[in-house]
Amino acid sequence: MSIVVTGATGHLGRHVVEQLLQKVPADQITAVVRDAGKAADFAERGVRIAVADYNAPETFDGLFSAGDKVLLISGNEFDKGRVQQHKVVIDAANEAGVALLAYTSAPGSLTAALADDHRGTEQAILDSGVPYVLLRNGWYHENYTENLAPVLEHNAVVAAAGEGRVSTASRADYAAAAVAVLTGEGHENTTYELGGDTAWSFAEYAAELSRQTGREITYNAVSPEVLTGILTGAGLPEPLAAVFAGVDVSISKGELVVSTGDLSRLIGRPTTPISEAISAALKG
Q: With helix as H, strand as E and coil as C, how does 13-78 read?
A: HHHHHHHHHCCCCHHHEEEEECCHHHHHHHHHCCCEEEECECCEHHHHCCCCCCCCEEEECCCCCC
Q: What is the pTM of this model?
A: 0.96
First to last CA, the chain: 38
Q: How confident is the model at residue 79 (pLDDT cuts 50, 70, 90)?
A: low
Which amino acid would we find at residue 185? E
**Residue 48 reports pLDDT greater than 80:** yes
pLDDT of residue 194: 98
Handedness of CA 173, 178, 184, 188 (dihedral sign): positive
249 within a domain of the structure (yes/no):
no
201 within a domain of the structure (yes/no):
no
207 within a domain of the structure (yes/no):
no
Distances (CA, A) of 140 to 56, 175, 199, 217: 29, 11, 12, 21
Q: How confident is the model at residue 78 (pLDDT cuts 50, 70, 90)?
A: low
60 within a domain of the structure (yes/no):
yes
Distance CA 188, CA 181 (A): 9
Query: Which range among 6-20, 68-82, 132-146, 156-170 shows the weakest confidence by mean pLDDT?
Result: 68-82
Number of domains within the chain: 1
211 within a domain of the structure (yes/no):
no
Distance CA 194, CA 74 (A): 15
Average pLDDT over the chain reads: 96
pLDDT of residue 144: 95
- Return the CATH number at 45: 3.40.50.720
Q: Under DSSP, is residue 201 helix (H, G, I), strand (E, B) or coil?
A: strand
Contact assessment for residue 31 and residue 57, using Cβ atoms and an 8 Å cutoff: no
Note down the domain range covering 102. Answer: 3-138+170-194+259-268
Distance CA 138, CA 150 (A): 24
In the sheet that 29-33 helps form, which strands lie side by side, from edge to edge? Answer: 48-51, 29-33, 3-5, 69-72, 100-105, 132-137, 190-194
